[in-house]
Amino acid sequence: MTAGSWLQIEPAASSARAKRTIAQRLLATLRREARPTGRPFSLAGRIIASVIVCQLVLTAALTTVAVLYARLELGRGFDAALNGWAANTLAAVRYTETEVPDLLFDPSLIPPSSNSRHPDLFEIRRSNGELLARSAGPLPVEVKEGATYGNFVLNGIPYRAIVLRQVPVLDREENISVPARVTVIYAASRVGLHERLVQLGVSVAGVGLLLLFIVSAVAAWRVRRGLEPLRELAGLAGAISVLNWEFRPPAEASMARELAPLTSAIETVLDRLQQSFRQQRDFTSDAAHELKTSVAIVKSTLQSLLQQPRPEHEYRAGLESMLEDCGRLEDLLGRMLRLARIEQWAENGMNHKLGTTEVTSTCEAAISRIQALAEARNIQIELIAPREVHLQADPEDLEVIWVNLLENAVQYSPPGSKVAIHVESNGGGTACVSVQDSGSGIPEEQLPHVFQRFYRGDPSRSRATGGFGLGLAICEAMVTAYGGQIRAANRDGQGTEMRVQLPIKRYELSSV
Amino acid sequence: MRVLVVEDEKRLAENVARALRENAGYAVDVAGDGEEGLYLAESSNYDLMVLDLMLPKLDGPSLLDRYRKKGHATPVLVLTARDEKENVVRLLNAGADDYVSKPFDLGEFLARAKALVRRGKGQRSPVLSVADLQLNTIERTVKRGQKEIALVPMEYRVLEYLAHRPRAVISKSELLEHLYDYNWEKFSNVIEVYISGLRRKIDSNYAVKLIHTVRGHGYVLRPERERT
């Protein structure tokens, strides 16, 4: 008996093929293909199904072994009993009291049949093969020469027969020197044997199934209890929102070896999310601060003009200053939008096709754009580019980086000094551009922050020159979007160096 | 009254200063960064400080902290672009008296500024009265009894300063300090000119004199009958 046949113990009734049996359903749960398009399933269900299937296999195996063993043992016992019944039948053969003793069969001595429904059959033959006695009907079998036992079916009833060959007939008579020999064939129905085997099988299987039921119930309960930390974890994770970042995994969840990776993953993701959320919020708040200040200036100018009648030249001056302030506001908005756009690129992968650009020419373009500011501050910009460096990039993007770096350098250099921009390629697939100023340098503690948005190391100077603390943030975002790096360093009291490294060939990450 | 505006956005500082001068008749000094602001605040007596929070060199909260720790009682009105609750609470707890958030309404700003000046002098009502003299600080008008009295701006400012602290003797140098910003050359005889002008317009036709000279000390505004 195999697990399969057990599982189909209740075959799908002809009426409802669609109605699958419990076992089939269990198997289906176990097999993944049973959920074609993301049907929800239960982990606990799977575990319990596994337990049930194991238990079923166990029960089936136990039953099979028990039945096989019992058949063997019962068969042996049956054969022994058969032997006994044959001997008893032999005992019914006696000698006559005549001069020459003859063999006589006394039916009254026959023991009762082993099975009342299917009476035993027997046949006794003299040594010369002549029939001495037999039961109601003839035995249908020719018992094979040499075999002691044999099976046959009579009228659909299975029988087992024993043949006792040439056994001596012993009797009370002492004067018989050479006892006569007869052959006894005795057959008994095996129906009783079968019934007992079936009974055994059914009881073993029944106990097995009962156990299965109990074990499944216990397993279901235990699994449910065991998955409790998972549910708790889910509840905690579900309670997290932008207002509440707190996630304290329960001790049980962090101790469970299976849950530890999940717990730590949630913690990591939360940390990252919270950090980026905080950055975003800081950015919004800083942006709002900048915008509010700019709007406050325009508004106060307007209100101040309206407070009392003024001569025409005052109105004109007011309007001119407002126009100037609007330009500043526009510049701020432009920078913020640019920053947002670059970040979007970086997130989605740059989707515009990139040609090859010569770096030095973009530096020249940037210098020409910054020239007016540099001249106003009497600062000389020097371009040092020993050879051409080609880069896979949009020339305008590169120009944005250089303009912002140069603007920053020019603002932080004392009048009359020099700002240098170096272009080189290290031959290893990286282009390197550095901008050096001759300012007082950046205090060491501020170096890590210079690329933060709206960060002003010394607000007085950047404010005074119209900066918002966005230039370097734009540079960093752009360089990062190109897969490069930007670093700020002090040059031993000779000013600051901003070093940009860009990969010459941009890997098409977006196409992956 | 003399006000110090500490604000690094030049245009905003100009607008605020202009409004205070034109609308309230205050003398206004402007500081472009925190260090200058603190220096000015400590070197002169102001009746009000208008303080921005984001300042170069020394930021607003630090300035406020240092200023208050030295025991200065001048009211401080903060200009802030960050009006989140925690920020406001921190500011007030650090010794600020009031705040307006950017972008603010100039009218509201002026009203708050005037209210702070009043409170700084121990006055509650915007209409100051000494005997039958009434001085409306909002409309900047002066009445004695039912009669409106027209004053030139400087006369009004002298009277307003005296009226904020009636019965107190106020020296000429104090008047000079509070009526002129630091761009003015200060001559004490200017005060005498305005005082005599005020006497002529306020006291000459009335039996009860209000403006009195305390020789060697200064001036006092009070009804004559209190004099012993």
Residues 6+ apart with CB under 8 A from A35: A41
CA distance A502 to A132: 116
CA distance A356 to A411: 31
CA distance A228 to A231: 5
pLDDT at residue A206, rounded to an integer:
92
CB contact under 8 A, A297 and B107: no
Cα nearest neighbour of A457 on chain B: B56
Q: Which three-class secondary structure state does DSSP give residue A122?
A: strand
CA distance A11 to B47: 99
Full 3-state SS string of A467-482: CCCCHHHHHHHHHHHC
Q: What are the structure tokens assigned to B82, written together? A: 């960050």
**A156 closest CA partner among A190, A187, A184, A123:** A190
Q: Side chain identity at B144, as an amino acid letter?
A: R
| Residues of B within an 8 Å Cβ radius of A | 8-9, 11-12, 15-16, 18-19, 22-23, 33, 54-57, 79, 81-82, 84, 101-107
CA distance A343 to A341: 5
Say whether residue A465 is in contact with chain B using an 8 A CB cutoff.
Answer: no
CATH code that applies to domain A351-511: 3.30.565.10
**Range of the structural domain that residue B189 is part of:** 127-226
- Mark whether B98 and B167 lie in a shared domain: no
Answer with the one of B100, B120, B140 that is the final residue of a domain.
Answer: B120
pLDDT at residue B227, rounded to an integer:
46
Nearest CA to CA, how far is A310 from chain B (Å)?
Answer: 11
CB contact under 8 A, A307 and B101: no
Ramachandran bin of A223, using left for φ above 0, alpha for ψ from -120 to 50, beta for the remaining angles: alpha
Phi, psi values for residue A155, rounded to 5°? 55, 35
Cα Rg of chain A (Å, integer): 51
Place of tokens 């019914």: A92
Cα nearest neighbour of A325 on chain B: B11
Share of chain B above pLDDT 70, in %: 97
* Residues of chain A positioned with their CB less than 8 A from the CB of B33: 460
**B104 closest CA partner among B29, B180, B19:** B19
Answer with the one of B69, B101, B120 that is the final residue of a domain.
Answer: B120
CATH code that applies to domain A89-193: 3.30.450
Q: What is the mean pLDDT of each run of 10 residues along chain A (512 residues)?
A: 41 43 54 60 85 90 92 91 87 79 79 78 83 77 71 84 83 68 86 89 92 89 85 84 79 78 86 82 79 87 88 91 88 83 74 78 90 88 88 85 89 87 83 87 80 68 59 85 87 84 65 32
DSSP H or E run through B213? strand B211-214
CA distance B11 to B15: 6
Residues in chain A: 512
Share of chain B above pLDDT 90, in %: 46
CA distance A209 to A52: 10
Q: Domain holding B83: CATH number?
A: 3.40.50.2300
- Mark whether B85 and B170 lie in a shared domain: no
CB contact under 8 A, B18 and A288: no
**A194 closest CA partner among A88, A136, A122, A115:** A115
Say whether residue A461 is in contact with chain B using an 8 A CB cutoff.
Answer: yes
Cα nearest neighbour of B103 on chain A: A296
Residues 6+ apart with CB under 8 A from A200: A66, A67, A70
pLDDT at residue A37, rounded to an integer:
62
CA distance A273 to B205: 78
Say whether residue A309 is in contact with chain B using an 8 A CB cutoff.
Answer: no
CB contact under 8 A, B103 and A292: yes
Residue B215: is its pLDDT beyond 70? yes
* Residues of chain B positioned with their CB less than 8 A from the CB of A464: 8, 56
- Mark whether B185 and B112 lie in a shared domain: no
Say whether residue A19 is in contact with chain B using an 8 A CB cutoff.
Answer: no
pLDDT at residue A175, rounded to an integer:
64
- Mark whether B143 and B204 lie in a shared domain: yes
pLDDT at residue B182, rounded to an integer:
78
pLDDT at residue A20, rounded to an integer:
47
Residue B127: is its pLDDT beyond 80? yes
Residue B117: is its pLDDT beyond 90? yes
Angle between helical axes of A359-376 and A395-412 (0-180°, round to 10): 30
Q: Cβ distance A480 to A506 under 8 Å? A: no
B161-175 pLDDT per residue, tens? 999 988 899 998 888
Number of other residues whose CB lies within 10 A of the CB of residue A427: 7
Mean pLDDT of chain B: 88
Nearest CA to CA, how far is A453 from chain B (Å)?
Answer: 15
| Total domain count, chain B | 2
- Mark whether B17 and B108 lie in a shared domain: yes
pLDDT at residue B115, rounded to an integer:
94
pLDDT at residue A183, rounded to an integer:
85
Residue B13: pLDDT band by 50, 70, 90 thresholds? very high
Answer with the one of B97, B120, B143 that is the final residue of a domain.
Answer: B120
User: Most A CBs within 10 Å: which of B7, B12, B16, B22, as the mutation test of the A interface?
Assistant: B12
Q: Domain holding B221: CATH number?
A: 1.10.10.10
Residue B118: is its pLDDT beyond 60? yes
CB contact under 8 A, B81 and A293: yes
pLDDT at residue A182, rounded to an integer:
86
CA distance A187 to A160: 5
* Residues of chain B positioned with their CB less than 8 A from the CB of A460: 8, 33, 56-57
CB contact under 8 A, A321 and B11: yes
DSSP H or E run through A279? helix A260-306
pLDDT at residue A229, rounded to an integer:
83
Residue B19: pLDDT band by 50, 70, 90 thresholds? very high
- Mark whether B52 and B155 lie in a shared domain: no
CA distance A263 to A233: 8
User: Most B CBs within 10 Å: which of A298, A460, A462, A465, as the mutation test of the B interface?
Assistant: A460
Most confident of A403-412, B14-23, B55-64: B14-23
Q: Cβ distance B37 to B63 under 8 Å? A: yes
Q: Side chain identity at A8, as an amino acid letter?
A: Q
CB contact under 8 A, A460 and B57: yes
* Residue A287, burial from CB neighbour count under 10 angstroms (0-12, 13-18, 19+): buried
Residues in chain B: 228
